Chain A
């Protein structure tokens, strides 16, 4: 039982709120949080927050009929309401930080969108995703592969596509758009390189301006986001959970290889590999144009050896599932026996679930930083969900009592 603390839940993840409240031994603050028919959020906090330490739990996830931006506005409104209601301190608990992933530039220098080959046949078939890798990156004494090559000439296919119907084009970016046809029809002014707004700093500033005093989040995609805030940010790690999963649920884990699916995640992956004394390999996403006609081709290659080994892909987030499914395909091609994918945040937006289903991934492990019920229903035993509520409950308890939370960064 923790006193003088109020836990206020948003609409994005009620199960997590309930679970955290259960661990802390207190009921969630009663509130009304709906929408007026005009579309404006309606928020009424029914319990007193005067002089209390308020924790507002809202994850950056939209789905199951709710919208991410609604959740974010709800969060800001709740923070502001608590502040004007004389709360002593307001902490935003964001298991998944919204807008933390800065967009990849989806365009090349000439302003034309980059394409990847159109998918030939719907959902089934693993030959849906194609990659190539020429030339391979040289590295001294590193076993390296020739990567996956494209079976078809993307450039020619693109031209054909453009002539027949423009709608089946896909863009090469780690973000998928809900409506691609608009992107493809868009042209920047001649001589100007179009660019995409980066909303990370804005979101940080908006939370601060709403009156947030403290932020608790987990596995920020870019740790630099912490620096966008002028208020304390506690970035918890999902790694210990994932580490424990490896030790307890993966047979012969000492012989397995930890794989980072891109260079950005190498640090995260090596940290775990080092602490467990495991081997490590890296998948390099190469986007250098090799020939003018090849400019559109993204390629992947593996640095390290995985033949006849169990592979454990480690990443912080799976959104469209592109990165991990492509990586899994490459690993299978390189002779991996079993592929585990361990992620902190399993967003799985768009058609990610069917993509994962059809992929070479044998087991997917995510935390419940975003609701996983729907994903669990669709993926069944392929998906394992780790509970993060004890970590967040403990972090909240420690922050409330002014104890150090650094022990949470490395717990076993």
Chain B
């Protein structure tokens, strides 16, 4: 009896992205565990557990809510620590969009390496395993001393492009030098051309001058990046591509953070569409911006959870998107 019962997958959902958790649970054929997170009136976060996690394989799904990252992070830490004290066998934090991933280096004096801090905090709270999607810099994996599975949205992107466009009409464009590797990988898989935009960035969230390297004339230019935040870069890059004779400009990003006046920027831009995954909750942004198209990432996450739980290899997912 106990042999059958023990060590099931317990899927716990944070408050940030219940839709994704629902989709993952549905795909795994289980129910989201009964937990509830709330804030007290003094704003401290409370996390209530409504079922046993003793000796279970716990997966806690928490993404980032745009504008409220710290709330979600504290909630995740408290949930992990709660499961740890409740004798869970293993706790895996499933963080589709890793918070503070961009603060990953000491780029000036006394700059905080917040990504490392988050990594340390997750381990301190008691996470045994991390599953995430398209880390801003894969080196962040090195901040952890527990296993990190960095999943890729790339297979899903490749399928989307193949299903909706002719690869030979397309050019993959990286909006900055840092993303060149990501973009060339997609370009190689599709056997298409590649271009790069060089930009100068004077301050965060502000975009400077841009220069196109490569040819996009009469092609569908597909901008590839890991995240779209205020969309300043993408919008500016799109107009640069248009000026250089692109037939149409699409943007393909993993994390649609879309903060600030991203929606206004997108609506007023020459971008034909912004294609992003649902790693970050988009809320009403889809209604407010008809240009947003969403690729569901939950099959990949669900499959990673299933494989992790069963002790199977996850690397299959690096090149294949489950249907």
Q: B-contacting residues of A (Cβ < 8 Å)?
A: 36-46, 48-49, 61-63, 67-70, 72-74, 76-78, 80-82, 84-85, 98-99, 101, 103, 175-179, 182-183, 186-189, 192, 194-199, 201-202, 205-206, 208-210, 319-320, 347, 349-350, 352
Task: Give A94 to B69 CA distance when docked, in angstroms.
Answer: 22
Evaluate whether A80 and B100 lie within 8 angstroms (CB atoms) in the complex, with A69-B43, A197-B49 already known.
Answer: no
> What 1/0 flags go to B60-102 for Cβ under 8 Å of A?
0000111111110110011101100100000000000001101
- State how many angstroms separate the Cβ of A39 from the closest Cβ of chain B: 4
A62 to chain B: which residues have CB within 8 Å?
A: 42-43
Evaluate whether A195 and B124 lie within 8 angstroms (CB atoms) in the complex, with A40-B103, A85-B110 already known.
Answer: no
Evaluate whether A189 and B47 lie within 8 angstroms (CB atoms) in the complex, with A62-B42, A199-B78 already known.
Answer: no
Contact of A44 among B51, B73, B111 (CB under 8 A): B111
A197, B34: Cβ atoms under 8 Å? Answer: no
Most-contacted residue by chain B among A82, A206, A347 (CB, 10 A): A206
B125, A69: Cβ atoms under 8 Å? Answer: no
- State how many angstroms separate the Cβ of A370 from the closest Cβ of chain B: 10
Evaluate whether A38 and B69 lie within 8 angstroms (CB atoms) in the complex, with A80-B112, A196-B47 already known.
Answer: yes
A49, B121: Cβ atoms under 8 Å? Answer: no
Contact of A183 among B38, B52, B120 (CB under 8 A): B38
* Further contacts, 18 of them, CB under 8 A, given A39-B64, A189-B34, A199-B45: A38-B229, A38-B257, A40-B69, A40-B103, A48-B110, A68-B44, A72-B70, A73-B74, A84-B113, A101-B44, A188-B50, A192-B51, A194-B48, A194-B50, A201-B81, A202-B77, A205-B124, A209-B120
Indicate if B117 sits at the interface (CB-CB under 8 A). Answer: yes
- State how many angstroms separate the Cβ of B103 from the closest Cβ of chain A: 7
Q: Please list the 7 inter-chain residue pairs (A to B) with the smallest Cβ-Cβ separation, ordered nearest first.
A: A350-B41, A197-B82, A81-B112, A37-B260, A188-B50, A85-B110, A62-B43
- State how many angstroms separate the Cβ of A248 from the closest Cβ of chain B: 30
A195, B69: Cβ atoms under 8 Å? Answer: no
B46, A196: Cβ atoms under 8 Å? Answer: yes
B68, A39: Cβ atoms under 8 Å? Answer: yes
B34, A84: Cβ atoms under 8 Å? Answer: no
- State how many angstroms separate the Cβ of B125 from the closest Cβ of chain A: 6
A68, B43: Cβ atoms under 8 Å? Answer: yes
B77, A43: Cβ atoms under 8 Å? Answer: no
Task: Give A70 to B71 CA distance when docked, in angstroms.
Answer: 7
Task: Give A84 to B113 CA distance when docked, in angstroms.
Answer: 8
A37 to chain B: which residues have CB within 8 Å?
A: 67, 205, 229-230, 259-260
Task: Give A329 to B180 CA distance when docked, in angstroms.
Answer: 69
Most-contacted residue by chain B among A41, A176, A183, A320 (CB, 10 A): A41
A194, B257: Cβ atoms under 8 Å? Answer: no
Interface residues of B in 87-144 (CB under 8 A from A): 99-100, 102-103, 106, 108-114, 116-117, 120-121, 123-125
16 A/B residue pairs, CB under 8 Å, sorted by A: A36-B204, A37-B205, A39-B67, A40-B114, A69-B45, A69-B71, A69-B73, A69-B74, A73-B73, A182-B36, A197-B46, A197-B79, A197-B81, A199-B81, A209-B120, A347-B42
Contact of B70 among A41, A48, A61 (CB under 8 A): A41
Of all chain B residues, the one with the shortest Cβ separation from A205 is: B124
Evaluate whether A210 and B41 lie within 8 angstroms (CB atoms) in the complex, with A69-B70, A195-B49 already known.
Answer: no
B47, A197: Cβ atoms under 8 Å? Answer: yes
Of all chain B residues, the one with the shortest Cβ separation from A189 is: B51
A39 to chain B: which residues have CB within 8 Å?
A: 64-70, 259
- State how many angstroms separate the Cβ of B232 from the closest Cβ of chain A: 10
Task: Give A175 to B116 CA distance when docked, in angstroms.
Answer: 33
> What 1/0 flags go to B287-315 for Cβ under 8 Å of A?
00000000000000000000000000000
Evaluate whether A175 and B121 lie within 8 angstroms (CB atoms) in the complex, with A39-B65, A41-B114, A197-B78 already known.
Answer: no
- State how many angstroms separate the Cβ of A262 from the closest Cβ of chain B: 18
Evaluate whether A85 and B42 lie within 8 angstroms (CB atoms) in the complex, with A37-B260, A40-B114 already known.
Answer: no
Contact of B110 among A42, A76, A82 (CB under 8 A): A82
